[in-house]
Amino acid sequence: MKRKRILIPLILLILFVLYLNRDALNPFAPDCKNLPANQPKPEECKKPVKEVAPGFEI
């Protein structure tokens, strides 16, 4: 009984950490750090432009 009490939160913690790192663990994502200089960046590597609410522009 005590083993089960420790094991369930441990499994939940491991699953939560894996969920937080799901982007880094994706084997199909392009490697954005090692791109050749003469090739354009794929769309997945470009950082999204943050939309600003009207009236908050500087």
The whole-number pLDDT of residue 15 equals 95
Taking residues 2-27, report their average pLDDT: 89
For 22-40, the pLDDT digits (tens) are 888 888 877 778 878 888 8
CB 26 within 8 A of CB 11: no
Q: SS3 string of 8-57? A: HHHHHHHHHHHHHCCCCCCCCCCCCCCCCCCCCCCHHHCCCCCCCCCCCC
The domain spans of the chain are 2-45
Q: What is the pTM of this model?
A: 0.51
